Structure 1
Amino acid sequence: MNKSRNWPVAVIVLLAIGLAGMAYQHFKFGEERKDFERRWNLTAAQLHNLSIVSDVPSDINFIPAKEGSGYVQLSGKLKSEIVRKLSQTEPASDGLQLDLSSDSFSIFSFDFRSTKSQITVALPEGLELGRFQLDLKSGGGSVRGVRAGQADLKTSSGRLVVSDVKAAQINLHSSSGKITAEQLEGTLTAATSSGGMSLTRISGDGTYTLSSGHLNGTGITGHVAIQTSSGDVTLSQFSGSGQIASSSGSITLSGQRSDSLNITARSGNVKLSKDDAFRGIYNLRTSSGSIHAPDSPGQTHDVIEVRTRSGNITIR
């Protein structure tokens, strides 16, 4: 008898037993999570600073306060340890700190049901936070409607989705995961260690740094400084000026309106749309590649400079 033929049957039986056990446990493993909901009513002074640290995926939504006074409301299925901390949390004179992180960890701590927390920040009319800090340790999350002097939003592991943010300074960071941002107004600094960026309707000067990942932008307005170590840069309907550099990847701009660009691609092609409003000088050079571009209008001292070490340059 060939015992090796019994392996597929044994595997199927074990899988069936495992699935049956998971179903019996309602697909839960580890500590039971508890339903938690709490609202913190805040004075104008207490709305100056808001800090949130979370181990669980979180959606944060800023809304106008209908009752005239501000508040922060949280709901979700949380570990007992986190519930105890939040139950004891009270606002300080100048702000509120919410800690949804856990010191405990279990290899078998899985729950296939939704464990995402929902956080609502209600601001009275005409009031904005002085500073909003969000640190998503794992799982990622989304942020919408922030109004603040400064917004610091980061995730250690997971996708960060940010929309409708107005702040003098906006800082976005992802250690491992993609950043998706839409309708942001303010000076922006965004960085990813491992992950791309998708940017739509960004108004304000921006600095974008990617170690590994592509940057795709639509409708960006302002001065930009873009640096990617490994990944393509693709911008459409860009209006502004700036420096764009890629160590390994192509750079493509379409429908742009710019009188001042400095573009460098060490290993990759550079493609630009012909900008009929540009009246300056094209300064184009490649070490190994071809150049296809119209003659410089030469009517102003504005310069579009492009350099490639190994790649083609095309303007058409």
Structure 2
Amino acid sequence: MVRITAFSLFALSLVGFSFSQSLNEKQTIIFLRTNTFDNTVGSCLAAAITPGILVTTADCTTVSFSKNSLSTSQIFIGSTNPGKDIAQISNNPANLGQLSGLTSPSSIITHENYNPGTKDDNIALLYLDNHGVTVSKVGGMVAPESASVIAAGVGQLLSSKQSTVSSIQEQNVEIESASFCKVISPSYSDDGSRLFCASNGNSMCNLDGAIFFPSSSGDNLLYALGSFTGTPNKPTSNDCSSSEAATFYTRIAFYQDWIQQKTGIEKSNFISSQNVSLPTWSSSNSSPSTSAQSSDSSSSSTSSTS
């Protein structure tokens, strides 16, 4: 979750390169929320997995430093320019209702085992009464090490400044190895099926956003949600200026049983069985290589019901 001050807005310049496939920005939904620890406004990103249900991080739906959900009146969905909106209401959450075109969720479901300290089980659902959103299928496969994927988000948090941008930003990032992730966060013991880390590229820090699989046809598949950023020996330092920094992501398909349990929606209605061929990252030329690695959704059979 990006903390924002009304006078620290800037345009985020992305570095690197682009796939021939680009993200359909309609697959991403920006919402504004109350930062309860200092009574300011933050911006977060969600994606629709059904016409009336959005998935996002628990970090964005809870009272600051708590696992208790915010009230529905503390979240407003549908911002197209979070920087402008926050400046317009003077960064005062009491004025969120004055923004036109935004709507509050009808219900918030935060994972009951979410840990605000470790960011474990960092996933939540937002229910919408007003539909009209672009639905994304969730990729069921586990992305292999060195795969190049699309990261999208709305903010950047540095240790020296807090700021946001005016629109969705996107960049290609590399899925890192489990050993690399463990160097950054010594407590990391996952194999990538629940939690993984990806490179920051020095331009997307502490990304409040999501990972998508690039696709040559149609919309991209939704894969994961940005959770926290770390550097070696400083797993929560937010020092994304370091070339060794990486962002940890929560893989959504790991929680497919939990989502089905909470919503009553069959997994087949939001999990994709599509085979995806992912480009591999080439450090020598700073771009995805032409060779691709293919996996299918059957490689992901583990899910959480807790």
Q: Report TM bin, short chain.
A: under 0.3
TM-score normalized with structure 1 length? 0.21
Give the structure with the higher percent strand: 1
Larger RCO, structures 1/2 (Cα 8 Å, 6+ apart): 2
TM-score normalized with structure 2 length? 0.22
Give the structure with the higher percent helix: 2
